[in-house]
Amino acid sequence: MGSLPSAHFSYRASSLYCEEVALCDLASQYGTPLYVYSRQTIEEAAQKYETAFCSIAHKLCYAVKANSNLAILKILQKRGWGFDIVSLGELARVLQIGADPKKIVFSGVGKTEEEIRVALSAGVGVFNIESEPEFERLAKIAAQMHCRPRVYFRVNPDVDAHTHPYISTGLKTNKFGVDFYSAFGLLKRAAVCESVELAGIDCHIGSQLTSFEPYFDACDRLLDLLKKLRAAGIELKDIDFGGGVGVCYRDETVEPIENLVLGLKSRLTQSGFDHLRIVMEPGRSIVAAAGLLLCSVQYVKTTPVKHFLITDAGMNDLIRPALYAAWMPVLPIRQSDCPEVLFDVVGPVCESSDWLARDRVLPAQAGELLAVTMAGAYGMSMASRYNSRRLPAEVLVSGKTSQLIRSRDSLEDLWTNEIVPADI
């Protein structure tokens, strides 16, 4: 099944609660499938980073892609966090909740001219550049617009993050970052370019990292580059290590965040780069444990070889199992005496890849509610309307209070931008 994701989820009288609210009550009030988030779990995850960095010059930017709901962004903005964005849509979201543009880092390999122009007009704090043509495009547009954006260069350090290949980004075969050997030349060009201000260096080597060694390897690579730059008379202000800190879905152990921060800091100090401000862009480790997907079992289907629990949530609501074969915990909302059976938990979507969990022992029957936990990151933000299924609602729980933070799509939402030409 899986263990409880944080201290803010508990069974009380055999019923699963998020903070002080019974999940079965939320299912009756808002329907299923439903994403539910514990505010306190988010606040505490953010606090862990803040504590780890308390005596170190730093900038924390939440990676919006992990969960981009406005209410969740607002929680982090109120704590003083900046944001790591990768699209015009993410920029619009963070501006919508009143984020300080100067605290935004614009990442991503494929920034369009339009995105660059809008971000420059908005006064975005830093552009994370990932290639030579992107540098040239940004410099040209900045010159036309008479502004001088701060830039970091994302360097591909060619280190193995030992994570799922789809979310490993720091290998030389990945599309991300400027390749390590071209980086020096490009940084030297940027240092003398009048239309950008070279402010830092960056790497993001992957996601769901359960060991910090790959970060330290990447740090050492970046330090080699910083030393070469220093010899050429170029000093930077910031060093950005991206996001990537893993969480425990099943039996992974992740060291405390302090160990990462202190390890990075001591490497910088030992090499004479103590003055650099450390930037981090965590996503998953802030929101994953806070969220669960509540769903209801529609049918128990037994074939000669398998037992299936068919739920009303599918791969369109939560694609991580289908896309990465990710193991997500599944818990019954009501602990019961009904016999435990080995089930595949599947959705209603017309694909065999539409599964949420495989081979789980669950005491479930038709009509029961289940929670796929650890679903606060890359759950709703990756949801789609495939099979013309409506995007689920989202609820934020804080103590005894639950608030709707996104209503379920209406049926009309499914075709709202579609047009039937009159002559069809």
Show which residues are catalytic.
350
Region of 115-123, 238-246, 252-260, 305-313 interacting with ligand LLP (CB under 6 A): 238-246
Residue reference for tokens 């704590």: 79
- 17 vs 83, which CB is nearer to ligand LLP? 83
Q: State which of residues 17, 81, 127, 378 lies at the interface with ligand LLP (CB under 6 A).
A: 378
Instruction: State both tokens at 275.
Output: 């003055």
* Length, in residues, of the chain: 424
Region of 117-125, 193-201, 279-287, 365-373 interacting with ligand LLP (CB under 6 A): 279-287
Residue 276: how many other CB atoms lie within 10 Å? 23
- 34 vs 66, which CB is nearer to ligand LLP? 66
Instruction: State both tokens at 249.
Output: 């879905």
Q: Does 284 bind ligand LLP (CB under 6 A)?
A: yes
Q: Does 332 bind ligand LLP (CB under 6 A)?
A: no
Residue 382's closest CA among 319, 329, 328? 319
Which ranges in 31-171 belong to alpha helices (H)? 39-52, 70-78, 88-96, 113-122, 132-144
Q: Is 181 exposed, middle or buried (0-12, 13-18, 19+ CB in 10 A)?
A: exposed
Q: To the nearest whole angstrom, how small is the minimum distance from the Cβ of residue 192 to ligand LLP? A: 26
- 149 vs 283, which CB is nearer to ligand LLP? 283
C-alpha to C-alpha distance for 68 and 54, rounded to whole angstroms: 26
Q: To the nearest whole angstrom, how small is the minimum distance from the Cβ of residue 280 to ligand LLP? A: 8
Q: Does 33 bind ligand LLP (CB under 6 A)?
A: no
Q: To the nearest whole angstrom, how small is the minimum distance from the Cβ of residue 170 to ligand LLP? A: 10
Q: Does 243 bind ligand LLP (CB under 6 A)?
A: yes
C-alpha to C-alpha distance for 61 and 109, rounded to whole angstroms: 18
Q: State which of residues 67, 68, 107, 195 lies at the interface with ligand LLP (CB under 6 A).
A: 107
C-alpha to C-alpha distance for 83 and 108, rounded to whole angstroms: 13
Residues pairing with 409 in the sheet: none
Q: Does 242 bind ligand LLP (CB under 6 A)?
A: yes
Dihedral of alpha carbons 198, 199, 201, 207, sign: negative
Q: Does 66 bind ligand LLP (CB under 6 A)?
A: yes
Residues in contact with ligand LLP, shown as a per-residue x/- string from 138 to 177 under the rule CB under 6 A: -----------------------------x----------
Non-local (6+) Cβ contacts of 12 within 8 A are 22
Q: To the nearest whole angstrom, how small is the minimum distance from the Cβ of residue 245 to ligand LLP? A: 6
Q: State which of residues 125, 282, 314, 392 lies at the interface with ligand LLP (CB under 6 A).
A: 282
Q: Does 244 bind ligand LLP (CB under 6 A)?
A: yes
Q: State which of residues 16, 63, 297, 391 lies at the interface with ligand LLP (CB under 6 A).
A: 63
Region of 38-46, 59-67, 305-313, 392-400 interacting with ligand LLP (CB under 6 A): 59-67
Q: State which of residues 41, 67, 156, 207 lies at the interface with ligand LLP (CB under 6 A).
A: 207
Residue reference for tokens 């068919």: 310
- 61 vs 276, which CB is nearer to ligand LLP? 61
- 279 vs 346, which CB is nearer to ligand LLP? 279
- 167 vs 254, which CB is nearer to ligand LLP? 167
Q: Does 281 bind ligand LLP (CB under 6 A)?
A: yes
Instruction: State both tokens at 65.
Output: 């892609």
Q: Are 128 and 202 in contact (CB under 8 A)?
A: yes
Q: Is 54 exposed, middle or buried (0-12, 13-18, 19+ CB in 10 A)?
A: exposed
Q: To the nearest whole angstrom, how small is the minimum distance from the Cβ of residue 292 to ligand LLP? A: 15
Q: Is 275 exposed, middle or buried (0-12, 13-18, 19+ CB in 10 A)?
A: exposed
Q: Does 283 bind ligand LLP (CB under 6 A)?
A: yes
H helices, E strands: number in the chain? 11, 21
Residue 21's closest CA among 6, 10, 7? 10
Q: Does 111 bind ligand LLP (CB under 6 A)?
A: no
Q: How many CA atoms lie within 13 A of 401 on its CB side?
A: 6
Q: Are 98 and 126 in contact (CB under 8 A)?
A: no
- 243 vs 332, which CB is nearer to ligand LLP? 243
Instruction: State both tokens at 94.
Output: 């963070």
Region of 13-21, 136-144, 182-190, 280-288 interacting with ligand LLP (CB under 6 A): 280-288
- 157 vs 244, which CB is nearer to ligand LLP? 244
Residue 33's closest CA among 352, 406, 399? 406
Residues that bind ligand LLP (CB under 6 A): 63, 65-66, 84, 107, 167, 204, 207-208, 242-245, 281-285, 320, 324, 378
